[in-house]
A and B are shown apart, each in its own frame.
Chain A
Amino acid sequence: MSVLVKKEEIRLLSGNEAISRGAFEAGVKVASAYPGTPSTEILENFVRYEGVYAEWAPNEKVAVEVAIGASMGGVRALATMKHVGVNVAADPIFTASYTGVRGGLVIVTADDPELHSSQNEQDNRHYAVAAKIPMLEPSDSSEAKEFTRLAFELSEKYDTPVFLRTTTRISHAKGVVRLDEPSVPAFAPGFTPDPAKWVMLPVNAKRRHVVVEERTKALREFAETWEGNRIEWGDRSLGIVTSGVSWQYVKEAFPDASVLKIGLAWPLPERLFLEFAAGVSRVVVVEELDPHLETHVKALGILAQGKELIPIVGELDPRIVRQAITGESIPARAPETVPSRPPNLCPGCPHRGLFFALKKLKVTVTGDIGCYTLATLPPLGAMDSCICMGASIGNAHGMEKALGPDGAGKVVAVIGDSTFLHSGVTGLMNVVYNRGVSTVILLDNDITAMTGAQQNPSTGKTLHGEPTRRTDLPALCRALGVEHVYTVNPHDMKRTEALLRREVARREPSVIITKAPCALLPEHRRQKRPVYEVIADLCTGCKACSRLGCPAIEWVPFTPDEAVAAGKKATQRGIARISPLLCDGCNQCPPLCKFQAILEKKP
């Protein structure tokens, strides 16, 4: 599907869609990413433009290395990732700061204040300071597109990678964007050898460091005069320094205040800060997460308020900003108390079968990042740790070494297919190399599910939708030196449990691959599947099926009178019911019923 280009066209785009549009208009030729909320849709949209190449890399480090290579090759290149992805990619990023670029190189970091779908809420503006890389920070979709275009221009003009930082409320908020024509590249692709620039031997890198410091000075001058850093004079009794989505909240809460809007989060404009502070009687810095602007404002000797008023945890909104600055508490209706509705594994999810079986073994489960992290919630409650992508295997090995012989057979690692290829492979290599005996369970659902069904090296398809050679997971595990590699269908919980018991007891490393497709895959949804029902007359209310935690299995409570009226003993507390709208026909629950009350529903 190609996206039409008409002049003066207006679209409602998310920040992510706007970034892909901006990259297209900037003439980006190569883009690489690992999916991660809230960044995923950037590449999913970018790949639809004609004449571009985009790919899912196995992880963010590879994505940045690919983008650096493309930049060396003389084209504009983009790498996108969520905030924690920058941790993975930090190694090439810090040195790409020294080498600089040929074709413009932009790295998008999509931060997640409020941890809507993340394991921490780190503030990646610190990376701009630490890596000495300029960072643009848009305040809405329109700026997301414009700043993306500008990022490529700055990258080439100042010979530097450029960060573009969004937050969830930029990435996943939609706003009006005016489309423009794509620009024509200023130079032809081609690599010109230049070891002093590209080969970071210490002798070369030392000289490049000097270049980096000069560059930062030049960019600071740019920051002083660029219109994206601007003073909006209003009522001089209150001056607010802000950036990103916080600017929107400030404009909403204090439409009359004087505002210094910062569009370049690094390097920061010192003279502009001083001019603004001199023009207002009170300075407040409004920013989400860490006191980044505040620290630099205060370092100039400006008396400002910041984190003593504005929360450092979570995201902001106009109400929080208004209350924090005025000190007034605004009366509002208290939220009602209702049953909570946390996310859950989907009906028909193959992971549920595995975790149900795993829980029976009473082992410690080191977990990882993916839908399956939800198995930590009741009633499955079958995960004991989750740190970062790929951590499960190293965690299991470390715990096993800590516990000594007593720990053998008591710890297993659980990791998804995409997460394993992202950064679990080296962990497994380590288990084999260092004589571990861990059992690693590889949950292969044929897709990167959590982020919304992205392809990965083991699925056999590229981001462009082309067929490709699959990474053979069992062969990969064997190549790492694991002798015991077995595959099982996790919907068959009896088999899965037996295999788990056997391999957990084994005093050698083993890998169990639980293989069944994600229930949300279109290929799966198109298949004709049975629907199960609970035969009410046979149900004794034992709740054996409820312990699966399947959203399709509902509990219908009885009062003693209702129980009797239903032909049950007065002591029966209720019966189970299966929602025909939700049942996916996975056949996990029927074998759990000792009374054969769960049967396939006949049409």
Chain B
Amino acid sequence: MSVPKGDVFLAGVGGQGTLLASEVLCDAFLLSGFDVKKSEVHGMAQRGGSVTTHLRFGPKVFSPLIEPGKADLLIAFEKIEALRFAHYLRPGGAMVVNAQEIFPPSVATGQERYPQDVAERLRAVTDRLHMVDALAAALSMREVRAVNIVLVGAASHFLPLPEAVYEEALKARLPEGIVDVNVRAFRAGRALLQPA
């Protein structure tokens, strides 16, 4: 995707670190000279519920919200959340989906099953579906909290920025003590997928 503007939709579960992931992406765009806007919701919605971030970049961005059917890239931190917001993706858009399953209350309490057909249903939305096991990658680094940056690494293939700028953004954004693990998480994530 080498266009100078685009819409990136992030979806996950409160507590998964979508906020930091979108901060890093925004910083990377800003460092690269783009206008960028992002919008998300704080407060009650963050207590384990569905959370989303709308991130838009380009020469000049007006609306902080992405319209349904217009996102170029959907980064989902959880499978059901990918499906919940799949209608935001434009036809032909790319999807990077963490294979992790986090049970919503109705599943956790046994009222319904975790949908078994998520991958098929996502594939019906786009043939540019990329499932990655970001949790496994993070656990292999013994840092479960790095799932978010692993996903940023995997998704970076679909964004028009050089690899170095993400690492620059991580260094600028994070406390020194956790920069290294997150740079490694980014690289591990990037290694999960082949260049688009």
Q: Which residues of A contact B (CB under 8 A)?
A: 10, 12, 37-38, 40-41, 116-117, 140, 168-169, 172-176, 245, 248-249, 251-252, 317-319, 330, 332-336, 338-346, 371, 373-374, 377-379, 450-452, 543, 546-547, 549, 551, 553-555, 557, 573-574, 581
Contacts and interface: CB of A to CB of B under 8 A. Distances in A.
11 contacts: A37-B43, A169-B65, A172-B40, A174-B37, A175-B36, A245-B64, A251-B63, A332-B69, A339-B112, A343-B45, A555-B109
Given A342-B49, A343-B14, A581-B144, A251 B68 contact: no
A332 B87 contact: yes
Given A249-B63, A333-B86, A341-B81, A169 B110 contact: no
Given A117-B45, A333-B69, A344-B49, A175 B37 contact: yes
Given A12-B36, A176-B35, A551-B48, A318 B69 contact: no
A282 to B, nearest CB: 22
B42 A173 contact: no
B44 A248 contact: no
B36 A168 contact: no
A345 B46 CA distance: 10
B127 to A, nearest CB: 15
Kindly state the interface size class of chain B when it binds its partner: 35 or more
A330 B70 CA distance: 12
A249 B62 CA distance: 7
Contact of B109 (A175, A332, A549): A549
A116 B63 contact: no
Contacts of A117: 41-45
Contacts of A318: 63, 65, 67
B138 to A, nearest CB: 10
B83 interface: yes
B45 A551 contact: no
Nearest to B78: A341
A496 to B, nearest CB: 22
Contacts of B69: 330, 332-333
Contacts of A546: 108-110
Contacts of A373: 44
Nearest to B114: A339
A144 to B, nearest CB: 12
Choose among A333, A339, A451 the residue with the greatest number of B CB atoms under 10 Å from its CB: A339
B107 A339 contact: yes
Contacts of A330: 69
Given A332-B87, A554-B107, 20 more contacts: A37-B44, A40-B42, A116-B41, A117-B43, A168-B41, A169-B65, A176-B36, A248-B63, A249-B65, A335-B84, A341-B104, A344-B105, A373-B44, A374-B44, A378-B109, A450-B44, A549-B109, A553-B108, A555-B107, A557-B110
B152 interface: no
Contacts of A450: 43-44
Dominant secondary structure at the B interface: mixed
Between B35, B61, B103, the greatest number of chain A beta carbons within 10 A of the residue's beta carbon is seen for B103
B49 A140 contact: no
B47 A374 contact: yes
B132 interface: no
Contact of A37 (B42, B104, B114): B42
B108 A173 contact: no
Nearest to A451: B43
B27 A12 contact: yes
A252 B48 CA distance: 32
Nearest to A321: B63
Contacts of A344: 47-49, 105
Contacts of A343: 14, 44-49
A574 B107 contact: no
Interface string B6-25: 00000001110000000000
Contacts of A342: 49, 105
Nearest to B108: A554
B26 interface: yes
A117 B46 CA distance: 10
Nearest to B14: A343
A117 to B, nearest CB: 3
- Among A245, A546, A547, A555, max chain B CB count under 10 A is at A555
Contact of B64 (A116, A248, A333): A248
Given A317-B65, A345-B47, A338 B80 contact: yes
Contacts of B64: 140, 169, 173, 175, 245, 248
B87 A371 contact: no
B106 interface: yes
A40 B42 CA distance: 10
Contacts of A175: 36-37, 61, 64
A251 B64 CA distance: 12
A113 to B, nearest CB: 12
B38 interface: yes
Contacts of B30: 10, 12, 176
Contact of A116 (B45, B115, B121): B45
A244 to B, nearest CB: 12
Closest 7 CB pairs of A and B: A117-B43, A37-B43, A343-B49, A555-B110, A173-B64, A343-B47, A173-B39
B125 interface: yes
B123 interface: no
Contacts of B68: 319, 332-333
Contacts of B128: none
A379 B108 CA distance: 11
Contacts of B144: 581
A338 B65 CA distance: 23
B62 to A, nearest CB: 4
Contacts of A319: 67-68
B109 A379 contact: yes
A249 B39 CA distance: 13
A176 B81 CA distance: 29
B184 to A, nearest CB: 20
Contacts of B110: 543, 546, 555, 557, 573-574
Contacts of A551: 48, 103, 105, 108
A336 B37 contact: no
Interface string B111-127: 01111000001000100
A350 to B, nearest CB: 14
